[in-house]
Amino acid sequence: MKHQSGKGPPVRAFAAAEEGGAAIETALLAGLAAFLAFAMKNMVAAPLLGFLTRASRVLTQALGA
């Protein structure tokens, strides 16, 4: 079943005209995911780990171990 330009559904006609757009979108999404992972590590995970480390030290001292 071969569609000529303008004869098939509009989505297929659009997809036939696309050249490399999906690769660019995928690269942008991968870059965004990497940036968000880096930001979450530095803004959430590192301070939370520091807080939990201090809390464990306080509990250790309070229990006299």
Q: Over the stretch 41-51, which tens digit does the pLDDT of each residue have?
A: 999 999 999 99
Would you give the distance in Å from CA 18 to the centre of its chain?
Answer: 25
Q: Is residue 3 part of a domain?
A: no
- Going from the C-alpha of 61 to that of each of 28, 57, 58, the distances in angstroms are 48, 6, 5
Q: Is residue 2 part of a domain?
A: no
- How many domains is the chain partitioned into structurally? 1
Q: Is residue 20 part of a domain?
A: yes
pLDDT reported for residue 60? 94
Domain, as residue range, for 18: 10-63
Question: For the residues 8-12, what does the mean pLDDT come to?
Answer: 63
12 pLDDT more than 60:
yes
Q: Is residue 34 part of a domain?
A: yes
